Structure formats: C-alpha cells, structure tokens
Amino acid sequence: MTALPSRLRRRSGLTAADRFVYVLALPLVGILLVYIVFPMIATFVTSTGDDGAAYADFTSGSSGRALVLSVGISVASVLTAGLVGGALAVLLTRFEFPGRAALRVFALLPMALPPLIGAMTFYYLYGASGIVPRLVQETLGIAAGSVAADGVWGVLLVHTMTMYPYFYLSVSAGLAGSDASLEEAAMNLGASRATMWRTVLLPMLTPALVSGALLTFMVSMASFTAPQFYNVNTLTMRIVASKTSGSYELAAAQSTVLSLVSILFLLLMRWYQNRRSTRSASKGTPQALKVVQGALPRTLAAVGSALLVVVLVAPVATILLLSFTVDGTWTVQILPPEYTLENFTTIFTDPRSLRPLLVSSQMSGLAMLASIVVGVLTAWVVARWKGRGAGVLDVMIMLPWALPGTVVGINIVTAFAAPTPFNLGQVFIGSLWILPLAYFIRFVPLVFRNAAASLAQIDPSVEEAAQNLGAGPWRTLRTVTLPLMTRGVLAGALMAFVQGFGEYVASVVVYPARFAPLSVEIYNRQYANELGSAFAYGSLQMLAILVVLIISELLENPRWRRRRSSASPPAVTAVPTQPVTV
Amino acid sequence: MTSVELSHVTKTYGAAAPSVDDLSLTIEDGEFFTLLGPSGCGKSTTLRMVAGFVAPTSGTIRFGERDVTSAPPYKRDTGMVFQSYALFPHMDVAENVGYGLRMRKVATAERRTRVDEALAVVGLAGYGERRIDQLSGGQQQRVALARALVVQPSVLLLDEPLSNLDAKLRDETRSQIREIQRKAGTTSVYVTHDQAEAMAMSDRIAVMNGGVLHQLGEPREVYRRPATAFVARFIGRSNVLPGVVEGRDGGTAAVRLTDGSLLHAPVAVDGGAGDVAVGDEIALSVRSEAVELLGPAPAAADRAEGTIHARLAMVEFTGSSCMLGLDLLDGADDEAAGQADRRILITIPDTDDLPRTGDVVALRPDPARIWMVAR
C-alpha cells in the first residue's frame, strides 16, 4: 500500500542525458535562427515591400524569362551530366579494357577544380577565343566561332564537366553495391541481359540516379560563375544585376523565388532518401569484370580512354599553363607565346599581391573554426535528440547548403544592413566580419554532414559505457565522443576551409571594398587582362584543394576499426560533401 | 554491495502497450539475478532503467535504502557490460579499464595497480597496451568485464554479454563470469534470452514476456513448476496440452485432454494453475524427457488411463538420445498434422527398435512430473 503514491506519481520520462541534449540545443537553435533563418525571412520581408511591386516586376520583366532559362539549363545539365557520369560508371565498374586504370584515376579530377578558376579554364579552352577552337581553325580551317562552346552551350559544357561526378559517384556506388548473385539470379530465372538490366539493375540504381539528378539540378540552379563568364542571363545573374543597380526589392523577390525552388528540392531529396529501401539483402558475391576481347575492340578502347583522359586533364593542364603566361601577351595565338615564373614570385614578394591570399585564408579560417563548433555540436544534438526537434534542426542547418551562394549573399546584405532585434543589433555591411559570416553560413552544412557521418559510425553504447563508469555528459562528450569524431570532422573542416578560401559567388555580393578576397581578385585580374597572375592564384588554389583531398583520404583510414552500430544512423540529410564548383 | 528494489516500475513509449508493465521485484545483496525472456519482452528496458539510461514512466528503483529513480547514470555506481562491449576504440586496453577509476579521481599509481589486478582476474595480464582492434571477440568481452568490475560497483549489470561469442567460447566464458562474480560478491543483474545460460548461472530467474513478469524463482523451481503456459514453453522442451478438469481426488486431478485421453496430475495450491475445480479449463505441462514410449497402441477403445495415443511423425537422432515428434489423434483431418497444439515432442534414449513414422503408439507421461498451468 505504501508504494501506491509513487506508482501514481507520473514522471516526465526524461533522463539526465535527454536534458543535456535540450540544454545544448538551445544556443544552437539561437545561432541557426539568427544567422540562417532570420536572414531568409528578412529577404522575404524586403521582397514584399511596396505591396509586392517587386513580384509584379518579376512576372512582367526579364526575371520570368531568367527563371525559365535557369530551369531549362538545369534540366539539360541533369541529362548531360547523367549521361556522362552514368556511362563512365558502368564502363569503369563493369568492363576491363586497356586504359581503365588511368580513367579511374582521372574520372574524379574535375573535383579538384577550384570554384572560379574551374569555370574560367573552360572558357579559355573551348570558348570563342579558346585554345581548341583556335586550333581547329588553324588546322582544319573551320571558323573558330562555329565550333566554340559559347553562351548557353558554354554554360552547359561547364555544368556537364563539373557535375558529372555526382552521377559517377552515386552510380558507381550503386553498381558496386549490387551483388553479382542478384544478376545471376535474374538470368537464371530466364531474363536476357537486356531484360535483366531493365528489370533488376535499373530499378536498383534508381535511388542513385534520382539523388544525382536532384543534386545536379540544385547546383545548376545555383550556378553563377559559368553564366557570368558566358554572359547568360540566368536568375542568379539577374539577382546580382538587380542588387548592383540598387533594386533591392527586386533582388529580394528574385532571391525568394530561387530559394523556394532550392528548398523544395532539398526537401524532395530528404523525403526521397528517407523512403527508399532498395538495398541489397544478400551477402555479396563479388562482381566479375567483363573483359573486352579482340584486337580491334581493345585498340579502340585504348584510344578512347586516352582521348578521355586528355579531355579530363585538359582543364587542369590549362590552369597550370596559363599560370606561367606573361600578362597581356596572349592575344590571337593558339597557345600563350611567353612564359615566366614571375607570376608566382610576385604573389609572395609583393605585399599587395599577397594580401588577397591572406584575407581569404584568415576569413575562411575564422569561418572554419565557427563551423567546427556549431557543426559538431549540432550533429551531436541531432543524433541524440529523440524527438521531432532533431529533424527541424537538421533542416535548419542544411538550408544554406540548398541555397545558392548568391541568395546567401543577398540574405546577409538585407539582414545585417541595419540593427534590428532579429540580428541582435549587429551590422555587418562593409565590416571585416561579413566574409567569415558568409563562409560560415555556406559551409557549416559541410562540417555538419561530416560530423554526423562520423557520429553515425560510433556505437551509441560507447557513450553509455562512459556514463556508466561515472563520466557526466560533458566529460563523455570530451573524452569519448569528440575524440572519436576528430578525423571525420577534420576532413570536413579542411574541405570547408578550401571552399571558403576560393569562395566567389557569395563573396562578390557581400565583400567590403577594403577586403577583396582571393576569388574577387582573380576575377579583377582576369578582367584587367592579367591572365597569368589570375591563373597563378588559381594554381595555388588547386594545390590547396589537392592537399586537402589527400589529407582527407588519409584521415578517412583511421588507425582503429570503428565498430558499426546496430542502431540505424540518425535521420540526417545525406548529401555528398564534394566541393560545389560553379 | 547492495540490494536492488524495483517497485511498480512501468515504462511506456507513446501510445504503444507498455514495454515494462508494473514490475516489482527485489534483487538480494550479492545475488546473481537473471532477467530472462524472448526479444521485446522488456528485459533490456528493465536493465537500462536500473542503469539509468531509460527513465521509468512511473514507479521507483532503489539501491538499498537509496532512491535512484531520477539519478543520472553516472551517479549510480553500477558497472555495465554491454552486448556490443562498447569498448572505447581510441583507447588501449589499460585506458579502457582505467576509465572508470579516472572518473572517480583515483591516483595514477593506484589506478595502474588496480587495472593490472583486474586484467589478471579476467586472464588478460600483460594485455594493457594492446589496441582494442587487436583483440579477439572473447578477449574484448573480458576487457569489458574487467572495466565494469574494476570500479567495484555496487551493482553489476550484464546485457546479453555472451551473445556475440561462438558456442564453445560462450560456455567457457559463462562459468568464468559466474566464478568472478561469486568471488567479488557483487550483486548482479544479467539479461539473456538463452534459458540454458540463465539456468546454469543464476541464483534466481525472472521470466518476462510482453513487459510482464511471469515467474520469479530459482532455476529448478522455474523448470519444474512453471507458473504459466508461457514459462512452460519457454524454459526447456515442454509439451503444453490443453484439457479440462474432470475430477478431484485429494491432491490429484483427473484431466481430459482434447483427444479424449485422461491423465492424472498433482494439484499444487501455491504454483502453476493453483487449486483447480471440476470443469476448469487448464493445460498440462509435460517435459519431453518425462514421457515414456510404451510401444504399439492397442485399439482406441482399450486406451488405458494415464496414456496418450499418437502417430509418430518424425524422428531426430541427436547422438545420446532421440527426439520423437508425434501427432495427437483427435479425429481432426490430417491437414492439422504438425500443428503446435497437436504435436508432442518426447526425448528417449536411443534404441534400435524405434517405431516407424506413421505408426500409432502409446505414451505414458510420468504422473509425478505432470504440472498444471493456466491456459
């Protein structure tokens, strides 16, 4: 009888661990609200000013056409990148032929292209005054203009060559994950090879193709650099034009429309990844490679591979070549005529030339530190929060990943122009802090994703073991969870750093006149026809990316084997963590 | 050392049926206590509530005099061995074992001595500097045990610690764990779904199903006098035959089974189906080794009291003995053959003159070992 009162006493059902999660979530939610969500709202509010005149402008003016053009280019990019990436994946995972090893190495080379320079190099390779069209004119006598990739075609070329890795990676993973015994089972049951592809492999690859397509579409919609070089009036271009000409309401309206499209696609991707269940249930019989037989097919394969390798290496080679060009000497020749080492020595000896490098690395370094703190803690909270809040927090921190850099720039400009309660009275326009803020917003999702992925690898009972042995929540986090996450987080943070180091799209919208970041300097040099100097910066950027890629690779092979947890990984939006180049 | 008292503990997740429903039990000081049941029965949830990882929806948990119901896990002073071992992969063996001592601010020198001692106890002396991934599964398991014991916890919690080991190692480790626990005298709560493991190790067993405690008792008690039909089926190999009480004669009841045969069973006032009256619908639990094979059955009309007629359906030779599966003859058509409530399993010593499948034979359950349970 005495036990009755305690039985009737209902408890909150919260453990100390749950409470710690909520306490930690509070400041994170605050930061994400102030720096990510409110700026979006600020842009929306600005866009509706003057009774929505901006939206009337939007529908009647050139913005509507720009939206249609953006969507059209994006759809086309999905098709071309899908074709190239998918074909490469099938070829390299299913066939054995001369040149396969080389192709496998170089297939991922586009990922090492720095953001701005990457788009520029295609312009100088295949544009009207580019190397290839001039070569064709010289040797075959066909007018350079008729073989050059210009305008929309140029944009499509850049998109295809920089975005096919999304498809290549996802389809390769899908094909490698599909088990040979599945295909054997289908053919054993009477399916021909073609029928087997249609009824077994393609349905299994659908998730890979869909995520590749959604990702490519989003990145294409956000693309700004390529349209700028080829002077194609996409919506991103219109946004920057409106802002430059002082029509803030119109810029805000255009940003809002673009944000809505992007967020729609982010949610679509999340929804799709959560519902798909096409996973191989069998144990895994290794896939046998089909060997290409016969002298002629093998020769053709070898020549084809060699050509493809040349195409893949060409952009990188062009960047290196142009970085040694003497400024102003390359006019109508096929290749630049004069070379020098001076472009590089100047960067490190002339303080004026070194400054952009320092500005960018400091700003990006600051952003990286902030991203690590916010990204890691948010990942932990999302993984341990048992309620619906986890999903909300996940969407909040992943939002900037979906937002085009241009829009992020506009959001910051509108939200931090004047002190309001929502920005806690902070004004960043023209201040030193605006670039780190922009980089933080853009790249915190990257750190978050990596942190969440390494967290998913940790057996949750390891944290419980620490608590059981007497460690409080902070101590558990410090002595067990964080050390186990270090490598993954470091890889993500370094990736965020190089991204920020070369960031152009948002920088060009927000940068204060006194602190031009590296990418803006590159653009200005190129504009001033100082090609050699511009590409010298680009080469350094490429080197930085390469170093980071190698370090990340080393970090991904940890000393200890991590035990896979039996629990399902946290409901975190799965997105590739590769750089988004355009 | 301490006792553990759960009183009216309930855990509900959302609108679903409770994972643990009004559970009350006391684990004595120094006892090796096992929570036994199929997966999803609430045994792990119960253990995690004792450890503090899950907060009960209602009810209280006490360690001795201390109410720990709302104490966080790190202030409960329990030592837990996890199913996945949960060793810290970034620390070596000694760091793993010493972690709890570090949290308790034990001085470095003493810590080293105690870690070495603990490793010696589990037979891993000299393994302190090994990395976790250099150890076999069995060694990892013992590191986890050393890590939990070295802090001299007031309660030792073991969550299916043997389930990731192969069969032979499991048996060895099982007796090691028991021996170490006996020496240390630590109150222990052990969770398992393996009834053989539970019987071999435990002082007492709590059998759970669907969040409810079905029986609490010593292994022999649980085996011989199952409280419910569920316990009878879950522990050992038992036949649970539904029937109706037809007569009472002092301490014995006559029970008519569905196939018409009449068996006599002892009435136990304090267990199983309890005191029964004529007309009660109950079930008889008959252990497979408590049934005698009499030979070819006489005509149905000549069926003797205390025997059952059944058709031999399958024979499994297991080495030392034979297991026979027989179907009751209850007039139903053959489609019902093999159904659980018509199938009787018996274990007999191997012989050369087994009946052939299809033969109808007479069986005689040992009247002293028939046990009545509620249906």
Query: In angstroms, rounded to a whole number, what is the distance separating the alpha carbons of residues B352 and B214?
Result: 41
Kindly report the nearest CA distance between residue A464 and chain B, in angstroms. Answer: 7
Identify which of B58, B72, B131 has the shortest CB distance to residue A10: B58
Between A518-527 and A482-502, two packed helices, what is the crossing angle to 10 degrees? 20
Retrieve residue B336's tokens.
């019902």
Q: Kindly tell me the sign of the dihedral angle through the C-alpha atoms of A234, A235, A239, A245.
A: positive
Query: In angstroms, rounded to a whole number, what is the distance separating the alpha carbons of residues A563 and B165?
Result: 16
- Could you give phi then psi for residue A74, rounded to 5 degrees? -65, -45
pLDDT averaged over every residue in chain B? 89
In eight-state DSSP terms, residue A478 is I
Kindly report the nearest CA distance between residue A463 and chain B, in angstroms. Answer: 8
Predicted confidence (pLDDT) per residue in A15-58, tens digit? 777 888 888 888 999 999 988 889 888 888 888 877 777 777 77
| Nearest residue in B to A16, CA atom | B72
Kindly report the nearest CA distance between residue A372 and chain B, in angstroms. Answer: 21
CB distance B80–A464 less than 8 Å? Answer: yes
pLDDT digit string (tens) for chain A, length 582 residues: 334 444 444 455 677 778 888 888 889 999 999 888 898 888 888 888 777 777 777 777 788 888 889 999 999 999 999 999 999 998 888 888 888 888 888 888 888 888 788 888 998 888 888 888 888 888 887 877 777 778 889 899 999 998 998 899 888 888 876 667 777 777 778 777 788 778 877 887 887 888 888 889 988 998 998 898 888 889 998 888 888 888 888 888 889 999 998 888 888 877 877 765 545 444 455 666 778 888 888 888 889 889 999 999 999 999 998 888 888 778 777 788 888 888 888 888 888 888 888 889 999 999 999 999 999 999 999 988 887 888 889 888 988 888 898 999 999 888 888 777 777 777 777 788 889 999 999 999 989 988 988 888 888 899 999 999 999 988 999 999 999 998 888 888 988 898 888 888 888 888 888 888 889 999 988 888 888 889 999 999 888 888 888 888 787 765 444 443 333 333 333 444 444 444
Query: In angstroms, rounded to a whole number, what is the distance separating the alpha carbons of residues A56 and A135?
Result: 48
As a 3-state breakdown, chain A gives helix, strand, coil percent values, each rounded to 5, of 75, 0, 25
- Which chain A residues are Cβ-neighbours of B59 within 8 angstroms? 6-7
CB distance A565–B84 less than 8 Å? Answer: yes
Identify which of B58, B76, B84 has the shortest CB distance to residue A459: B84
CB distance B52–A483 less than 8 Å? Answer: no
- Helix, coil or strand: residue A117: helix
- Which chain B residues have any C-beta within 8 angstroms of a chain A C-beta? 7-8, 10, 22, 24, 51-60, 69-70, 72-80, 82-84, 86-90, 99-100, 103-104, 131-133, 147-148, 151, 157
- Which chain A residues are Cβ-neighbours of B57 within 8 angstroms? 10-11, 13
Retrieve residue A267's tokens.
């949610």
pLDDT number for residue B216 = 95
At position A93, the amino acid (one-letter code) is T
- Could you give phi then psi for residue B363, rounded to 5 degrees? -120, 150
In angstroms, the Cα distances linking A236 to A214, A256, A441 are 18, 11, 18
CB distance A468–B73 less than 8 Å? Answer: yes
| Nearest residue in B to A3, CA atom | B7
Confidence band, pLDDT 50/70/90 cuts, at residue B3: very high
Identify which of B8, B51, B131 has the shortest CB distance to residue A468: B51
H/E stretch holding A547 reads helix A531-555
| Nearest residue in B to A2, CA atom | B7
- Which chain B residues are Cβ-neighbours of A9 within 8 angstroms? 58
Kindly report the nearest CA distance between residue A11 and chain B, in angstroms. Answer: 5
Retrieve residue A509's tokens.
């919208």
| Residue A235: CA count within 13 A, CB half-sphere | 32
Closest CA to A563 of A489, A452, A458, A431: A458
Retrieve residue A214's tokens.
């959604």
DSSP-assigned letters across all residues of A188-252: HTT--HHHHIIIIIHHHHHHHHHHHHHHHHHHHHH--HHHHHHT---HHHHHHHHHHTT-HHHHH
Query: In angstroms, rounded to a whole number, what is the distance separating the alpha carbons of residues B2 and B356?
Result: 58
Predicted confidence (pLDDT) per residue in B236-268, tens digit? 888 898 889 998 888 889 999 888 889 998 888
CB distance B80–A15 less than 8 Å? Answer: no
Return the residue matching tokens 């052939």. B356
CB distance B147–A8 less than 8 Å? Answer: no
| Nearest residue in A to B86, CA atom | A462
What sections of chain B are H helices per DSSP? Answer: 43-51, 93-103, 108-121, 137-149, 167-184, 195-201, 219-224, 229-234
- Which chain A residues are Cβ-neighbours of B55 within 8 angstroms? 11-15, 18
Query: In angstroms, rounded to a whole number, what is the distance separating the alpha carbons of residues A394 and A571?
Result: 8
What sections of A403-476 are H helices per DSSP? Answer: 405-415, 434-456, 460-468, 473-476
Buried b (16+ CB within 10 A) or exposed e, A464-476: bbbbbbbbbbeeb
End-to-end CA distance of chain B: 40
Identify which of A11, A13, A462 has the shortest CB distance to residue B86: A462
- Which chain A residues have any C-beta within 8 angstroms of a chain B C-beta? 3, 6-18, 459, 461-462, 464-472, 475, 479-480, 483-484, 559-563, 565-566
| Nearest residue in A to B22, CA atom | A7
Kindly report the nearest CA distance between residue B220 and chain A, in angstroms. Answer: 31
Query: In angstroms, rounded to a whole number, what is the distance separating the alpha carbons of residues A541 and A526?
Result: 16
Closest CA to B80 of B188, B230, B200: B188
- CA B39-B43-B46 angle, to 5 degrees, is 145
Kindly report the nearest CA distance between residue B363 and chain A, in angstroms. Answer: 45
Q: What is the pTM of this model?
A: 0.79
CB distance B72–A469 less than 8 Å? Answer: no
- Helix, coil or strand: residue B252: strand
Buried b (16+ CB within 10 A) or exposed e, A295-309: eeeeeebbeebeebb
pLDDT number for residue B37 = 94
Identify which of A6, A12, A465 has the shortest CB distance to residue B86: A465
DSSP-assigned letters across all residues of B25-67: EEEPTT-EEEEE-STTSSHHHHHHHHHTSS--SEEEEEETTEE
